[in-house]
Structure 1
């Protein structure tokens, strides 16, 4: 299977050895961040640094001043962690080593945007804002993110793109110094805590036949047993159907607009994948989708191994179904079991691999990756 790995520009920019090291792993491509959220990242081999602190969500290239002139919402340039055209320099270096570069674009995850413009954020049923989670139901947010998708995806040196957080974001994944583990929040609880009640979403629920105040009250009532640690969340009754339908329609419209904008800006053959989940209610980096629809819209998806089957059932002959596998042992990955994980992913429909994350992994983990990919190629 064709294998790619994720990397940040700061893993490559300023390190002459990095492109050759990555090419020597047996990779076909590197998915290189072009627009990314705030993070603190280890760089275990870079000659100039060991820790990179990206203070806020930013584009890792110079944004087009004409595109964003006069607009209240616009992308933020990076600081010293990715100065100038860091993406372009890294992409050129990787291409020179024979690696195909695809851009990695994070959309609806931006705590700087929520801090500067609180009205853009998801609002939960209790009235709490999530500044890291832009609400994709808001027209001005969609306009920002769709244009960002087109600009950040189609960079010089990129042969394709992977759009992350292309849909609803919510409670999870995460905020600085996160301390939300005091109550056990499973999938349903995460969904309920991620339902948005900003003015745009309240209007959307109403158009679907649900009273937004009653829906919010139902969400709070369903979650009461969770805060008491006595039982999981209950049901919402009648309002739940219109709420889910509204969110599914909104996410689908956003995904269609983003992919269409990228295609309009891209040359022929430019490949567009979404980081996605086959369940429409899911929020986060792997946004919920309608599998059949999204595989007709985009060239494919990148998904967690246990979510692949939901996409494989709807794949066309040319669909990319890429399994996202963690190869950083210190972050819970298992690079020594990569060959077995790849075969299991293939058995449930994976056509490619994405390895998270070549820049974060220490040498021992990369040695295991090299061995596994050589075995898979043989």
Structure 2
């Protein structure tokens, strides 16, 4: 089973042993970040540093100034954490080590853009903006995301791309000093708190028979019992219980249509710019109303658009099944496992986890993350991959 490890450029650049170390794990591919959100990352083996702080979402290569000239929404350059063509330098070293390089592109997740252009952000029923979450229904934002997917995805020498957060982002967000866990919102509450009420979305709901002002009031009323501690029923039935079936269906029809259109446009644009045989896959969740880095999709639709999906499997591989049942011949169904034990991964269980994933239809493995893992974690991966065919 083909395996790929996630890597940041700063894991490789300046460390002459990094590329060969990653190749020695037994992976055939690396998924190398070319556009990434803000983060603080450990580099436990680097000869020059141990912590890298990326202060804002940025591209990790020099932008094409002609592409972005005159546009307010454009990629931000990286700071000292990834200077120059950091992606290109790392890609060259990894390629020389015999690894196939695919780009890793984070799209609708950009706090700096939300801070500098607040009108681009998702705004909830209470008027609170989510600066980390660009509203993907807004035309300028959609144009920015499609062009970013092309530029960051189709880098020189790359054999494919993995597009992360190509869909709605909502309330759930790994944030510094987070303090929002005091009330358990549940699946239904998360959906209501992730609905966007910008002007574009209000018009969109109206197209599906849902009046925006009435929807906002209905969401606030529905959440009152949740704020007081009542359980929020899971699944779509819980959303319908809180909002009513017709109103809930109208919101989902709008949001699903917006996400589908963006996904279709981005994949088509990447393919038009890429060489033949270039692989395009999405980080995805098989429940279309879910938000986040693994964008909610309808399995049959997305497998008719892209070459496959990368599916989170650290907590169990059940999310693979809907994609396997969609039955797209030759589709990439990559099971993504965290192999950093300090981040909840189970590198010692990778063999059994991979076997269960294969039984549910997985065709490839993704390992998060070769740069963040300890030596012991990497040795566990190395021993497992030596026996995985």
TM over 0.5: yes
Give TM class, smaller chain: over 0.9
1:338, distance to aligned residue in structure 2 (A): 0.3
Match of residue 133 from structure 2: 133
1:227, distance to aligned residue in structure 2 (A): 1.1
Q: Which moved more, 1:366-375 or 1:176-185?
A: 176-185
Deviations 1:30-68 (CA, angstroms, capped at 9, x unpaired): 000000000000001011100000000000000000000
CA contact 2:294–2:311 (8 Å) conserved in 1:
yes
Cα separation, 2, equivalents of 1:185 and 1:41: 29
Cα separation, 2, equivalents of 1:110 and 1:159: 26
CA contact 2:187–2:232 (8 Å) conserved in 1:
no
Match of residue 113 from structure 1: 113
Cα separation, 2, equivalents of 1:334 and 1:11: 21
Given candidates 349, 355, 369, the residue that maps to 1:357 is 369
Kindly indicate whether residue 209 of structure 2 is the aligned counterpart of residue 205 of structure 1: no
Cα separation, 2, equivalents of 1:364 and 1:222: 48
Cα separation, 2, equivalents of 1:178 and 1:146: 30
Match of residue 235 from structure 1: 242
1:315, distance to aligned residue in structure 2 (A): 3.1
Match of residue 226 from structure 1: 226
Give the TM-score normalised by the residue count of structure 2.
0.96
1:174, distance to aligned residue in structure 2 (A): 2.6
**Partner secondary structure for residue 370 of structure 2:** coil
1:230, distance to aligned residue in structure 2 (A): 2.8
Cα separation, 1, equivalents of 2:278 and 2:75: 23
CA contact 2:289–2:296 (8 Å) conserved in 1:
yes
Gaps of 5+ in 1: none
Deviations 1:252-298 (CA, angstroms, capped at 9, x unpaired): 00000110110011000000000011111010000011111110110
Match of residue 280 from structure 1: 288
1:221, distance to aligned residue in structure 2 (A): 1.6
1:288-299 aligned within 5 A: 288-299=296-307
- Find runs of 4+ consecutive structure 1 residues off by over 3 angstroms: none
Match of residue 87 from structure 1: 87
Match of residue 271 from structure 2: 263
**Partner secondary structure for residue 313 of structure 1:** helix
Match of residue 150 from structure 1: 150
Gaps of 5+ in 2: 234-240
CA contact 1:211–1:239 (8 Å) conserved in 2:
no
Deviations 1:205-249 (CA, angstroms, capped at 9, x unpaired): 001110111111111122112211133265201311110000000
CA contact 2:184–2:231 (8 Å) conserved in 1:
no
Q: Which moved more, 1:304-313 or 1:326-335?
A: 304-313
